[in-house]
Structure 1
Amino acid sequence: MACSRGAASPDAHTQKRLFASSGNYCQNPACANELFIDAAGKSIHIAEMAHVFAANNNGPRARPELSKAERGSFENLVVLCANCHTMVDKAPKAYPDDMMLRWKREHASKLQQLFGAVAFTDRASARAVIEPILIENHTIFKKYGPHIEDAANPESGAAERWKRKMLTRIIPNSRRVLSILDTNRSLLNVEERFVLEEFRQHIDDLESFHIEGQMEDASRFPADMAKILEN
């Protein structure tokens, strides 16, 4: 999700936060476009960071009194597909700032409901929600992960498939599990709370590598996550 707006461009942390808040879908409620798609055997992204208030003084919905930092802040950015980004900037009067901010709030509310980030009264109920998500991620890793034989063959398309699965399934799924566990932190024992923090760092490392392109070793998925909240 590159942005060539100089000082008004969001930093790496803000970019990760924006991607997480999108859930891999355009934040325009009238649009159902996924932000990472397969095309001609490759995984490409169509995600763009749209400024609510323009990055410059002559842009759409401009507010000259805002600083560059404010223009590049999380609060002033909405994640859209390329078509919707062009639309809101070409017709700013039809898409005022309050509408775009409402899109972002409503998108966050939908994701929270979808992710089931509600407080449970017992460990078994919370476990029942996160277990299928953990199983899905594990299955994807086993079938498409960088350890498989085809991963070493650049012509197989395995690396592109793994990248797509990571961005569209594993990272959003992981964020979903994290949200549920944070909401139900009171149900965790002391050891599980440490496992949760290891999981949080693992997600951060995945996002740094797969979203920001930071070439650094990622922490391993904490094995004890597989049995968290088990009685």
Structure 2
Amino acid sequence: MDFGEIAHVIPASPDGPRGVPFEAVSREDRAHHSNLILLCANCHTTIDKASDAYPAEMLYGWKQGRVDEIQVAVSTPEFLTRAEARAQVRGLLDDNALIYAKYGPTGDPYRQGDPIRWHRHARSTIAPNNRRILQVLDANRRLLTPEEEQALTIYRLHVEQFENRHVLDDFTTGTERFPEGIQDVFLD
């Protein structure tokens, strides 16, 4: 099993590694998250025992590099063409549509269809997909037509109300239906 340990770059105590004069860094700065790095237990021990080989600047560089990698991995790209943007959302839209067709409610208040599976898929798949779709639409708003912009406004309300109903179990917020224009967004 993998375990991580939170390590201080600049030590929390006066006798810690990396020889920064203790009075040069305030207690608050030593405790701040920007002075922490996540390491495996072996690396934590190695780095602290050989602090001259691993100066604070190196550790801050490692941390920033990892932050940059994560930012690239989770950020929403801006596309040059509508086709590229469509390719990004098509699978998510298709997944949601298939789940809705198979398990979705066919009556009110959701007595028909397959409510147990619907509720599970609504939380685990549709709600996260909806958020990803919104991120792509927002990041690539300049590629939307005026009609798609209007559909986006309705879709945003739909997503909020969908999450309230199916994630927070709050059925008092309304039931804005999925706007059909979103299913064909970025199609030419």
* TM-score bin (small chain): 0.5 to 0.7
Find the partner of 2:167 among 211, 219, 227: 211
| Identity between Structure 1 and Structure 2 (%) | 30
- 2:155 alignment partner in structure 1: 199
State the shift of 1:212 in Å: 2.3
Report runs of 4+ in structure 1 exceeding 6 Å deviation: none
What do residues 144-174 of structure 1 show as CA deviations (whole Å, max 9, x unaligned)? 11128xx647xx9x32211110011000001
TM-score after normalising by structure 1: 0.48
The correspondence of residues 56-205 of structure 1 with structure 2, limited to 5 A, is 98=33, 110=70, 113=73, 117-147=76-106, 152=111, 158-205=114-161
State the shift of 1:131 in Å: 0.8
- 2:181 alignment partner in structure 1: 224
After superposition, the Cα gap between the structure-2 partners of 1:182 and 1:102, relative to the gap in structure 1 and judged at 3 Å, is: farther
Highest Rg: 1 or 2? 2
Question: CA–CA distance in 1 between the matches of 2:76 and 2:3?
Answer: 24
State the shift of 1:119 in Å: 0.4
Question: CA–CA distance in 2 between the matches of 1:112 and 1:164?
Answer: 30
RMSD between aligned residues:
3.3
After superposition, the Cα gap between the structure-2 partners of 1:97 and 1:211, relative to the gap in structure 1 and judged at 3 Å, is: farther
State the shift of 1:215 in Å: 2.1
Structure 2 unaligned spans of 5+: 5-30, 39-65
Question: CA–CA distance in 2 between the matches of 1:136 and 1:111?
Answer: 26
Letter of the 1:118 partner, please give it. Answer: P
Question: CA–CA distance in 2 between the matches of 1:220 and 1:110?
Answer: 34
Letter of the 2:98 partner, please give it. Answer: T
State the shift of 1:193 in Å: 0.8
Q: Count residues in correspondence.
A: 129
Question: CA–CA distance in 1 between the matches of 2:37 and 2:142?
Answer: 32
Q: Flag the structure with higher helix content.
A: 2
- 2:43 alignment partner in structure 1: none
Question: CA–CA distance in 2 between the matches of 1:123 and 1:181?
Answer: 11
State the shift of 1:187 in Å: 0.5
Question: CA–CA distance in 2 between the matches of 1:132 and 1:184?
Answer: 17
- 1:191 match: secondary structure: helix
Letter of the 1:181 partner, please give it. Answer: L
Letter of the 2:100 partner, please give it. Answer: F
After superposition, the Cα gap between the structure-2 partners of 1:112 and 1:211, relative to the gap in structure 1 and judged at 3 Å, is: farther
